[in-house]
Structure 1
Amino acid sequence: MGVGAAPTTSGTGTVSAYEQLLDPNRKWYNNRRLISLHAWVVLLLITASTNGFDGSLMNSFQSLKQWEDYFDNPHGSMLGLLNAIQNIGSLAAYPFAPYLSDGIGRRRTIWFGACIMLIGVGVQTGARSLSMFIGARFCIGFGLTFATNSAPLLVTEIAYPRYRAQLTSLYNSLWYSGNIIASWTTYGTEYMTGSSWSWRIPSLMQGIPSILQFFLVLLAPESPRWLISKGRDDQALKTLAYYHADGNELDPLVQYEFNEIKTAIELDRELDRNTGWKSLITTKGNRRRMIIIVAIAWFSQWSGNGLVSYYLNKVFDTIGITSPTIQLLITGILAIWNLFWAVFASFLVERVGRRPLFLISGAGMFVCFLLQTVCSARYAITQDQPAAHAVIAFIFLFYAFYDLAFTPLIVSYTVEILPFSLRAKGFNVFNFTISVALIFNQYVNPIALEHIAWKYYIVYVCWLAFEFAFLWFMIIETKNLTLEETAALFDGKEVTQRIAQTGVKEVHTEDFVDEKGSA
């Protein structure tokens, strides 16, 4: 049994076994098995699209006169409830989601969540009353928790090592693909004046990802790590071999991955036999993990972006842009802008590194939000139209910096720093924190905007300064490491050395060339 040694980049020719065992000729576009694997990954990634669709849906509906008229113009606390109820539904499912992910497997948990979401979408589309609409959104949030708990775990656990970080980062980035579809669909249906189908059609389209997952996800490969944790080693080895080495179970990369995963899981069990909720805080390494995970989850929703994500129309009102058509148009353009930057950043994670992206993102958000606040104040005091236009510009710039880290990295960084035994529970804490932050925002933001308008932005300016300081001192770089090597960073030298001494030595460049027969 064995796993790889810690990677090095010294000038001695010694490199990580993980890096050297990758076949340089096996690319995602020229290998049939990898193309098939990535097709399954796309099926998992669209879970984030469902989430993004819902986030934009309520923002768009609030700019849609037909929806407001149908439900008697909800405002104040009722509007807060409408935006928060999906996350309240998510909260109700959090106690169960990790147990299903670890118990019945990643695939079955996603399928279960898709079933519940389809019920919710059906009720939402056919809603005849506000209470029926609220109940449907609760149901969607409840089902979404199961899918979002398992989908990114399965992506990161089945991905080919060369593409793992990028694909896992793409998961949350594709939140904006759903955001785009919802924004532009609602922009188009706005012209269906006098018809409730102007909002029922966007509601119906929310179910498309869940329909695909309902029929297909059980055919996808299961996580080799989950299979090994259940004692199904042969099936795990076959899965790794089929997708990562064209079916060759003796391929050096497959053997390396299999042994590393198996050893790490056994070591987790040896060091901490209790993998319950308490284990998340029983060791120094785990406590640091949870502090980082809770912090970046909260930051992702409490950096001022919550004002735009759910109450953009209220922000527009503060700068004099009240036309529903213009509001919906800007919302749609902003969604495309966000998708571009988030996907762009996803492909930088292994080139630039996690820590630089987090720091650039934090600094940029602070500067842009500060300037947005100044321009909002100027417009409120002087009614200066250029200041209003500048607010829109700074919203776009703010999101460009936000999307460098807080769209692609918050999920991928969370799942990679957690060891397998704690991954589902730790990621559940991450999602729970996001829901709490969202519920807080969705109740507080509309009230604060209504009473103090642009002055509320000052709170976020101060908070963004704190965020940058936290990121500077707490974020650890994890670039170019396997999941097992990354998890070991938090557990000290003793664990890292134990993993490195389990049987696989460092691979030297010249040895690899001799073995493979090519330079």
Structure 2
Amino acid sequence: MFRKSPTGTWLPARVPGSTNGLAVLLVLCSVVQSTTGGYDGSMLNGLNILPSYTDYFHLNAATTGLNTASVFIGGFFGPMAAGPMTDHLGRRPAMFWGSLITIIGIILQTAAQNIAMFVVARILLGFGQGISAVAAGVYLSETFPTRWRAWGVGLLNDFYYVGALIAAGITLGTGQWQSTWAWRVPSLFQAIFSIICIIILPFVPESPRWLVHEGLFEEARLVVAQTNADSDLANPIVLTVYKEIVDTLKWEKKQGRTMSPKEIIKTPAARRRMLIGMSAGPFSCVAGNIIASYYLGSELDTAGITDSIDQLKANVVLNVWCLGCALAGTHLIAKWGRKSTALLSESLLVICLFVIGGLSKMYADNPDTASKSLIYGDVAVMFLFQGFYSIAWTPLLFLYPSEVMNYSIRANGLAFSTFMLNALAVLLVFVMPIGLENIGWKMYMVNGSWDIVIIVLIAVYWVETKGRTLEEMDAIFEGEKHSSVPDVEAVRLGKATVDLTVLEEEVSNIAKQAPVKID
């Protein structure tokens, strides 16, 4: 049974009465964003192996990097628009417009006649993806219950590998076609994920935090009930979550917090939240995965696997492995914590990168006499590296920033994290094929050195966010929680109780008060 859910925007919603059913739709609506991104990375990985693609555009190392990295140029500018769009239009409308722009870019990419058209199309595609990713990350973190947030937002990026796996399978299937459709068909199929998102949007509610911000109190309470207790407005968890959201936004208003991008550097606490939260983007980008994510063919060349069909098969197997590791990592993050999982993953990456570098050097020194065990050992460690990367960075990329940042800076802060990721990716994706061509195995050593620095920064500066609502993060960064209700998880687990009569009276008076809108 579907029930109308007021959204405060032009995009209406009728949502399932079951909280579990709604949770499924929330995941489906948001994960298609990362599926698009994963599909794009794996598709370009496959296309860069296909002669029908490389010969059609007459690619060399520089133009290969340009064709591939151009999506990050759009991703560089997309987040600039994403923050204001997400805050002022609403989370769901921002996802809609981002998905629509992505579809337009994909159509142009499929019809590309030359490098210039292909690059422009991918810039537009990246722009739409940038908007959608930020809006989806903010939306899911603000809408999912605390107990499901790690899985809900983690899956947002875990499905990168679902898209990558689909693309790897499609490019493997079309790889032997003797026409440009060998790469145009995989390109066109990429649009299906954004289309699915647009179809599902009318069946999920608006973020309750955005609704409270807009002064739509009763509407926000209904959404909290829909996402936590099968639409039971009197449920103690619903009343606690709702009161906590309203109290915290009221406090932000009294402190003069606004939705301006300047807010991210306005106070010491905001700057600390910003630096810690946004670090997930750059850290994940420089970890070393870009080589295998976009240039697996070149990476396998350094290990002695040069047949294009063998490389495409390796691409499929790699994405199955990474998906499994990402799901296992999401479980670790939910049970063990964000910081601990990140430290474990990053330490394993350092070991793998130095081993890969050493094995690749041994092959480069004597490629004609290199043993099969050396080649397969190098490939095995490459696969381990991608799996270890997936354990932490895949689920944390959107989860950690959205948890660390408070409401007034969440959209702009996540946008800035995505902006920095794409800014680095534009450089690294362009440089990697040139670096591999000129210094080969030494690129792995450079990446390993970066990762050691990242381990130190995480150990010293990151905070643990496991088990807290978004509003309860204030206790870490502001020194106190800004609501009188007990912590939500304590209430849910029976460790704390609330007086339902008093709480109902308090929340009933909220709708009669002045709006909490923060302009």
TM-score above 0.5, yes or no? yes
Matched, 1:152 2:141: no
* Structure 1 spans left out of the alignment, 5+ residues: 1-29
Query: Which stretch of structure 1 is more off in the superposition, 54-63 or 245-254?
Result: 245-254
Question: Partner residue of 1:7?
Answer: none
Question: Partner residue of 1:229?
Answer: 213
Question: Partner residue of 2:101?
Answer: 116
Matched, 1:67 2:58: no
Aligned amino acid, residue 44 of structure 2 = M
Question: Partner residue of 1:14?
Answer: none
Matched, 1:43 2:23: no
**Residues 351 and 510 of structure 1: CA distance in aligned 2, closer, same or farther (over 3 Å):** closer
SS at match of 1:222: coil
1-structure distance, mates of 2:317, 2:392: 20
Q: Which of the residues 346, 351, 363 maps onto 2:335?
A: 351
2-structure distance, mates of 1:50, 1:164: 21
2-structure distance, mates of 1:289, 1:77: 38
Question: Partner residue of 1:173?
Answer: 158
**1:339-381 CA-partner distances (Å, limit 9, x unpaired):** 0010111122221111210111111111111111111111111
Question: Partner residue of 1:81?
Answer: 66
**1:302-349 CA-partner distances (Å, limit 9, x unpaired):** 111111111111112222211100111111110110000101111222
Aligned amino acid, residue 68 of structure 1 = T
Matched, 1:379 2:379: no
SS at match of 1:401: helix
2-structure distance, mates of 1:233, 1:159: 18
**Residues 511 and 156 of structure 1: CA distance in aligned 2, closer, same or farther (over 3 Å):** closer
1:86-485 aligned within 5 A: 86-192=71-177, 194-383=178-367, 384-385=370-371, 386-485=373-472
SS at match of 1:477: coil
Q: Is the 8 A contact 1:45 1:152 kept in 2?
A: no
**1:23-64 CA-partner distances (Å, limit 9, x unpaired):** xxxxxxx98332133223212111110011111111110111
SS at match of 2:86: helix
1-structure distance, mates of 2:487, 2:295: 54
**1:107-147 CA-partner distances (Å, limit 9, x unpaired):** 11111111111111111112222222112111111111111
Q: Is the 8 A contact 1:111 1:218 kept in 2?
A: no
Aligned amino acid, residue 418 of structure 2 = N
Aligned amino acid, residue 35 of structure 2 = S
1-structure distance, mates of 2:24, 2:379: 37
Aligned amino acid, residue 452 of structure 1 = I
Q: Is the 8 A contact 1:418 1:487 kept in 2?
A: no
SS at match of 1:462: helix
SS at match of 2:374: helix
Aligned amino acid, residue 470 of structure 1 = L
2-structure distance, mates of 1:59, 1:84: 12
SS at match of 2:452: helix
Aligned amino acid, residue 396 of structure 1 = F
Q: CA deviation at 1:272?
A: 3.5
**1:147-178 CA-partner distances (Å, limit 9, x unpaired):** 11111211121113321121111111111111
Query: Which stretch of structure 1 is more off in the superposition, 140-149 or 91-100?
Result: 91-100
1-structure distance, mates of 2:366, 2:99: 50
2-structure distance, mates of 1:510, 1:340: 35
* Structure 2 spans left out of the alignment, 5+ residues: 1-15, 501-519
What is the aligned length?
480
Q: Please give the TM-score of this superposition, normalised by the length of structure 1.
A: 0.88
1-structure distance, mates of 2:498, 2:256: 39
What percentage of residue pairs aligned between the two structures are identical? Answer: 32
1-structure distance, mates of 2:257, 2:325: 42
2-structure distance, mates of 1:188, 1:323: 16
2-structure distance, mates of 1:319, 1:387: 8
Q: Is the 8 A contact 1:341 1:403 kept in 2?
A: yes
**Residues 511 and 477 of structure 1: CA distance in aligned 2, closer, same or farther (over 3 Å):** closer
SS at match of 1:298: helix
Q: CA deviation at 1:512?
A: 4.8
Q: Is the 8 A contact 1:416 1:487 kept in 2?
A: no
Query: Which stretch of structure 1 is more off in the superposition, 54-63 or 32-41?
Result: 32-41
1-structure distance, mates of 2:495, 2:249: 31
SS at match of 1:349: helix
Q: Is the 8 A contact 2:27 2:156 kept in 1?
A: no
Q: Is the 8 A contact 2:236 2:498 kept in 1?
A: no
Q: Is the 8 A contact 1:373 1:457 kept in 2?
A: yes
Aligned amino acid, residue 32 of structure 2 = I
Q: Is the 8 A contact 1:372 1:391 kept in 2?
A: yes
Question: Partner residue of 1:27?
Answer: none
2-structure distance, mates of 1:308, 1:487: 38
Q: CA deviation at 1:510?
A: 7.6
Question: Partner residue of 2:41?
Answer: 55
SS at match of 2:441: helix
1-structure distance, mates of 2:257, 2:407: 13
Q: CA deviation at 1:282?
A: 2.5
Q: CA deviation at 1:246?
A: 2.3
**1:446-469 CA-partner distances (Å, limit 9, x unpaired):** 111111111222211211111111
- Give the superposed CA RMSD: 2.1
SS at match of 1:191: coil
2-structure distance, mates of 1:487, 1:411: 19
Query: Which stretch of structure 1 is more off in the superposition, 235-244 or 274-283?
Result: 274-283
Q: CA deviation at 1:236?
A: 0.8
1-structure distance, mates of 2:352, 2:189: 34
Q: Please give the TM-score of this superposition, normalised by the length of structure 2.
A: 0.88
1-structure distance, mates of 2:247, 2:498: 27
2-structure distance, mates of 1:336, 1:353: 24
